[in-house]
Amino acid sequence: MYQNYCNQQRRAASACARKILLVMKFTTLLLLTVILHVSAATYAQKVSLSVKNAPIAKVFEQISDQAGFDFVYSTSDVKAAKPVTLNISNTDIRIVLQQLFSDQPIDYSIEDKSVIVSPKQQAPAKAQESNESTDKIVVTGTITDEKDQPLSGATVQVKNGKAISTSDNRGFFMLKGVNENSVIVISYIGYTKTELPATDNMGVIKLKLAENQLDAIKVIAYGETTQRLSVGDVSTVTAKTIAEQPVTNVLQALEGRVPGLLITSGSGMPGSTYGVNIRGLQSIANGSSPFYVIDGVPYTVQDLFSVSPAGPVDPLSFINPADIESISVLKDADATAIYGSRAANGAILITTKKGKAGKTHLDVNYTQGVQYAPQDVQYMNTQQFVQMRKEAIANDGLTIATAYAPDLTKFDTTRYTNFEKFFTGNAAQYKDVQVSISGGNANTQFLIGGAYHEQSTVFPFSESVPRGSVHLNITNTSLDNRFKLSVTAGYSITSSHLPQVDLAYQGVAFPPDLPSLYNKDGSIDLIGSDLNYDPNPLAFKLQQANNSTNMLNSNVNLSYAITKNLQLGANIGYDKSESNDNKVTPIASLDPSYSETGSNEFTTSNTSSWIAEPQLTYGLQKEWGKINLLVGATFEENSSSGQDISARGYTSDALINDIVAAPAIFANFTASTQYKYSALFGRLNYSFEDKYIVDLNWRRDGSSRFGANNAIHDFGSVGAGWMFSDEKIIKDNLTWLSFGKLRGSYGTTGSDQIGDYRFDNLYFVNGIPYQGVVAVVPNGLPNASLEWEETRKLETGVELGFLNDRILLTASWYHDRSSNQLLSENLSYITGFSSVQINLPATIQNTGWEFTLKTVNVKSGDFSWNTSFNLTAGRNKLLSFPGIANTPFAGSLLVGYPLGANLVYHYLDVNPQTGLYEFLGADGKATSNPNFETDRTVYSNSTAEPKFYGGISNTFSYKGLELSFFLQFRKQTGFNPLLINNAPPGFGSNVPIQYTGAWQKPGDVARIEQYTESYSSAAYTAYQAAQQSNYAYVDASYIRLSNLSLAYSLKSQWIEKLKLQQFKVFLQGENLLTFTGYKIGDPEAQNYSALPPLREFVAGLSASF
């Protein structure tokens, strides 16, 4: 019916979408109705009865009225029952029922809130049982968590027996036909497995939270698991690890911590983006970001357009790291296939903090500290600089003249300024306050937190970047434990005022003899001609890039247990971000010798997205095993819009932030896009005795990013795990092996990170009016067949625990192949355009090993020492690319080599006679002016992925004192810092001291070729060639002491005296030491002329009241 509706309304796709919304609203309404019903029907479980010779059906009605239990029976069964006489008051219903049925030909069982009445077991069954020597009993009990809340769905089974059951929403269970002297095993995810002797009434059984990290809860796609039971490859980082690091972007806290996850920090500017990649580059031309999910809701990590000098702002920088409870990194097919088309690059699941039941408490955390730019580049002093300049000018056959060498003629060559120190040598302030109140009762828990964070820059004039955020969570469970609701919202406000450019880049390379940047009266010298460097970087004190971003993340998770086994739920999320930028150039910052006017550039960027994911889960435990089935659907819509407007000609600085006051306004661009996505997904998990586990995942995806011909696609995976340590033969013989699991998975995922509308035949506004009419021109050739890039992931892993899991070792091997690459294919211009977007059969292979080792080295009394180590070694390779010759990638990619490897010149050395860099030409002769087309004969190492990388953390704790440090390491190829600058040494800029000792005269054996200051010199040509040679690639491996944290928690008796729950003081350091052979600057950033990642020292305290 609905389908018909859609077909009739072919044009009205949006109407169809509205209809779906309507359906969803209706579903929600339906849910609410059920909830209301449930609340109304929640009565006490105690019953009072006073009946004499009453028909049993009447008694059912009375109990039903009082306790809210439904009775399900067939009239014929009940007819056989004897009249009832009972006199009891305020007694537990279960006891009442026992008495009621004790002498009847009928029996009963409790299913949820229903009492199911059936005829008593027949004799033959009894006879069979009586063959056994022991008596059968009915075991009942109630399972609760550590806070006395009932746990529904806990597995209760007879050890080495067949009987199995699960607890209901009140935690109650019943096992029938249990041998009297058998053992009952109770297990629940995240709790220690408990074994108890079977008795008929076991009372309340309180489970303990799992201490073994194998049993700690891990968040996975649409659910939870533990490392013990997980078939997929999921790594988790917890709040504790994050809290040890004074970071503003949570990605920084993950660097080096997770095998397979490569994070590279960009620059030290606040808000800068991080490179994030899971298991190598999967795509030649398109995005390779992982899929981010916050509390079950996808988080769109589109870099917000911004005029910030740090480049686009990373949306994750708006999430307060302190609000995060845990992060799961999903890597293999089993873990990711259920995310289908979006998880080819892996997924990162962020779970925020939730309120917990218990006394309401207030947590306060205050951190303050400083950040420094590591001043690890030593620039030439004036003497060395002047020497270099003179040589350069002489080498070019020129004489020293003011026109091109004011630094030698006009400036005072005895003057020296350390511009690195001047521009980036200041301490940036770091301040962070977190306050939260949380608590609640058994049914409702809440958490409300507020945070304020402030960070300034290392520049000579300090501007701060404050961020304020609130985080709110309310969780409610209905009295009968069947309905659960969790509402989470986070809102952050960030505003930054930064200089328009990275001053490190702008200023550190100034000639060291440059005159003062200030006038005699202390004001900034703005007369560029006077300074020869226009503009004076100090003018950026006024020329600012301002950004303010507000971001809302909200989600609602609902679930309702229809029966003990069946649960209906939904994740609903809404995110919104608004970013306003302006880039102001006031008149006061401009050279007054020109009559210039002020200008401003206004940029706005808005995104919003909503998602709804209804889900149904079904779980069943039988003697033949346990199944969990999940089916669900996704509806998602993202919209973004933005514009960039230049306003010029301001004659007054006072009005410069008013766009209307500008005499000339020009719209640079406007953008508005929409992305729609929908899916159906399912997962079937089967496990037998938690020993053999099989997972099947499936997803059918539809995305608006693809052409009409290919909008729908299926993805799936199969995974299996085998707990071989549970096999009797191993248990009996390898007693030192406490845990052993083999797992493997294979499946497909896709990547739709290709931008919106790429398939469509669109006309865009080219910005040039014709006869006053805005003109539109075609954007390119449409391709209605565009579809997903597809990745096939294969993984096997082994996980071992020794000595009661004190040593945990995991090793994984992965083998991923990404094909159907979305690239452009060259076309003849006769088609109107030179290329078209097309899926090409290029295949990229990523394969590698990942290891983690977690050990408890010492655990004696008050002292413990834990170590955690991880290592990743991956290899990326372009496996095949049929038809590469007819693509723009011919000549830049080579089959058999990793992405990021370039065809380059074969570098020889500095020729002692000519003083120029030399290369081996294709003809076998050395040349300093190689031909780009023919002489590139060797492939460079790839800079895209390290050979191996990882980290090692050690935590020592003694009583209240805890010391931890984290080292990360990387074996990688980087860019040769000697060849990073666009211009070779000798031009007017200062350069690092490593450039001294250049070739001077024939016969010199030197590492640096002759200096030059001319773009037409042979030395310049040779320098440019060197940049495209294998000499431009050097080892950039390093070991870094990334984090050091020392914390002291007050001992409990003091805390009690102070009426505190917890009190802790701490010192933390970030990016403290780097050991590397990389000579100039930071081996991670590999660009000494930009602001490197900062070094941080903070101190703080946290208290809980």
Partner 1 sequence: MKSKIYQQPNSKTRLTFILSALLFTLGFNSCKKFVEAPPPATYLSNASVFSDNADAQAAMAGIYTTMQQYSYGGGRGGLSITPGLSADEIALYPGAGQPSTVTYKNALSGTNPPEGTCWNDSYNLIYQANAAINSIPSSEGMTTAIKNQFLGEALFIRAYCYFYLVNFYGDVPLVLTTNYQKNATLPRTSSATVWQQIIADLKQAQGLLGDTYVDGGGVQSSEHVRPNREAVNALLARAYLYNQNWSDAEKQASNVINSGLYTLLHDLTQVFLAGSPEAIWQLELPPNSYLNTTDGQIFLRPLAMYDGGGANAGHPFYMSNTLVQAFEPGDLRKTDWVASITVSGITYYYPYKYRTLYGPPPTEYPMMLRYAEQYLVRAEAEANGAGNGIPGAIADIDSIRKRAGLKFYSGTQDQASVLAAIMHERQVELFIENGHRWLDLKRTGLVNSVMGSPGNQCALKGGTWNSIQQLYPISQSELKADPNLTQTPGY
C-beta of residue 823 within 8 angstroms of C-beta of residue 778: no
Q: Closest distance between partner 1 and the C-beta of residue 19, in Å? A: 7
Residues 589-618 contacting partner 1, CB under 8 A: 614, 616
Residues 523-562 contacting partner 1, CB under 8 A: 562
Quick one: which segment of 13-21, 232-240, 397-405, 603-611 binds partner 1 (CB under 8 A)? 13-21
C-beta of residue 367 within 8 angstroms of C-beta of residue 242: no
Between 667 and 858, whose beta carbon lies closer to partner 1? 667
Q: Is 1004 in the site for partner 1 (CB under 8 A)?
A: no
Q: How far apart are CA 359 and CA 884, in angstroms?
A: 66
Residue 840, strand partner residues: 821
Q: Is 969 in the site for partner 1 (CB under 8 A)?
A: no
Between 401 and 1073, whose beta carbon lies closer to partner 1? 401
Q: Is 33 in the site for partner 1 (CB under 8 A)?
A: no
Query: How is 20-42 classified by DSSP, letter by letter?
Result: HHHHHHHHHHHHHHHHHHHHHT-
Give residue 961's Cα distance to chain centre: 31
Token match 């067939």: residue? 74
Residue from 29, 401, 671, 858 touching partner 1 (CB under 8 A): that is: 671
Quick one: which segment of 430-438, 675-683, 966-974, 980-988 binds partner 1 (CB under 8 A)? 675-683
Quick one: which segment of 178-186, 223-231, 673-681, 1094-1102 binds partner 1 (CB under 8 A)? 673-681
Q: Closest distance between partner 1 and the C-beta of residue 486, in Å? A: 21
Between 317 and 571, whose beta carbon lies closer to partner 1? 571
Tell me the HSE value of 779 on the side-chain side, using a 13 A CA sphere.
13
Between 95 and 762, whose beta carbon lies closer to partner 1? 762
Residues 826-885 contacting partner 1, CB under 8 A: 826-834, 836, 885
Residues 156-215 contacting partner 1, CB under 8 A: none
Between 235 and 704, whose beta carbon lies closer to partner 1? 704
**Integer Rg of the chain from CA:** 35
Q: What is the dihedral of CA 1012, 1017, 1023, 1029, to 10 degrees?
A: -160
Q: Closest distance between partner 1 and the C-beta of residue 669, in Å? A: 8
Q: Is 668 in the site for partner 1 (CB under 8 A)?
A: no
Q: Which two tokens stand for residue 1089?
A: 């002329």
- C-alpha to C-alpha distances, 411 to 140, 242, 399, 404, 517, nearest whole angstrom: 93, 50, 17, 12, 13
Q: What's 298-321 look like in SS3? A: EECCCCECCCCCCCCECHHHHCCH
Q: Closest distance between partner 1 and the C-beta of residue 891, in Å? A: 12
Q: Closest distance between partner 1 and the C-beta of residue 121, in Å? A: 18
Q: Closest distance between partner 1 and the C-beta of residue 76, in Å? A: 11
Between 130 and 709, whose beta carbon lies closer to partner 1? 709
Q: How far apart are CA 886 and CA 890, in angstroms?
A: 7
Residue 644, strand partner residues: 603, 669
Q: Closest distance between partner 1 and the C-beta of residue 632, in Å? A: 8
Between 775 and 1073, whose beta carbon lies closer to partner 1? 775
Quick one: which segment of 15-23, 214-222, 246-254, 722-730 binds partner 1 (CB under 8 A)? 15-23
Between 510 and 706, whose beta carbon lies closer to partner 1? 706
Between 631 and 1039, whose beta carbon lies closer to partner 1? 631
Q: Is 736 in the site for partner 1 (CB under 8 A)?
A: no
Q: What is the dihedral of CA 16, 22, 26, 27, to 10 degrees?
A: 60
Contacts of 191 (CB under 8 A, 6+ apart): 145, 151, 154, 207, 208, 209, 210, 215
- 530-535 CB contacts, 8 Å cutoff, 24+ apart: 532/406, 532/407, 532/410, 534/591, 535/589, 535/590, 535/591
Residue from 674, 913, 931, 982 touching partner 1 (CB under 8 A): that is: 674
Residue from 28, 55, 73, 376 touching partner 1 (CB under 8 A): that is: 73
Q: How many of the chain's residues bind partner 1 (CB under 8 A)?
A: 91
Q: How far apart are CA 24 and CA 521, in angstroms?
A: 69
Q: Is 76 in the site for partner 1 (CB under 8 A)?
A: no
Q: Is 776 in the site for partner 1 (CB under 8 A)?
A: yes
Q: Is 772 in the site for partner 1 (CB under 8 A)?
A: yes
Token match 């990388």: residue? 949
DSSP state of 619: E
Residue from 673, 796, 864, 914 touching partner 1 (CB under 8 A): that is: 673
Query: How is 649-668 classified by DSSP, letter by letter?
Result: EES-GGGTT-GGG-SEEEEE
Q: Closest distance between partner 1 and the C-beta of residue 752, in Å? A: 11
Q: Is 684 in the site for partner 1 (CB under 8 A)?
A: no
Helix axes 56-67, 93-101, angle to 10 degrees: 170
**Helix, strand or coil, per DSSP, at residue 604:** strand
Q: Is 623 in the site for partner 1 (CB under 8 A)?
A: no
Q: Closest distance between partner 1 and the C-beta of residue 878, in Å? A: 21
Q: Closest distance between partner 1 and the C-beta of residue 152, in Å? A: 17
Q: Is 766 in the site for partner 1 (CB under 8 A)?
A: yes
Q: Closest distance between partner 1 and the C-beta of residue 260, in Å? A: 31
Residue from 95, 762, 1058, 1073 touching partner 1 (CB under 8 A): that is: 762
Residues 373-412 contacting partner 1, CB under 8 A: none
Token match 């806990």: residue? 154
Residues 739-758 contacting partner 1, CB under 8 A: 756-757
Q: Closest distance between partner 1 and the C-beta of residue 699, in Å? A: 11
Contacts of 37 (CB under 8 A, 6+ apart): none
Q: Closest distance between partner 1 and the C-beta of residue 614, in Å? A: 6
Q: How far apart are CA 1019 and CA 1010, in angstroms?
A: 7
Q: Closest distance between partner 1 and the C-beta of residue 580, in Å? A: 19
Residue 1059 CB neighbours (<10 A)? 7
Q: Is 60 in the site for partner 1 (CB under 8 A)?
A: yes
Residues 695-724 contacting partner 1, CB under 8 A: 700, 702-704, 711-712
Q: Closest distance between partner 1 and the C-beta of residue 164, in Å? A: 20
Residues 114-153 contacting partner 1, CB under 8 A: 114, 116
Q: Is 667 in the site for partner 1 (CB under 8 A)?
A: no
Between 72 and 489, whose beta carbon lies closer to partner 1? 72
Q: How far apart are CA 892 and CA 878, in angstroms?
A: 12
Q: Which two tokens stand for residue 547?
A: 């950004």
Quick one: which segment of 271-279, 384-392, 441-449, 678-686 binds partner 1 (CB under 8 A)? 678-686
Q: Which two tokens stand for residue 749?
A: 């995922």
Residues 486-525 contacting partner 1, CB under 8 A: none
Contacts of 431 (CB under 8 A, 6+ apart): 367, 368, 452, 453, 454, 455
Q: How far apart are CA 646 and CA 972, in angstroms?
A: 42
C-beta of residue 805 within 8 angstroms of C-beta of residue 739: yes
Q: Is 29 in the site for partner 1 (CB under 8 A)?
A: no
Q: Closest distance between partner 1 and the C-beta of residue 771, in Å? A: 5
Q: Is 1050 in the site for partner 1 (CB under 8 A)?
A: no
Q: Closest distance between partner 1 and the C-beta of residue 38, in Å? A: 10
Q: Closest distance between partner 1 and the C-beta of residue 670, in Å? A: 5
Residue 454 CB neighbours (<10 A)? 16
Token match 């010798």: residue? 593
Residue from 8, 53, 75, 595 touching partner 1 (CB under 8 A): that is: 75
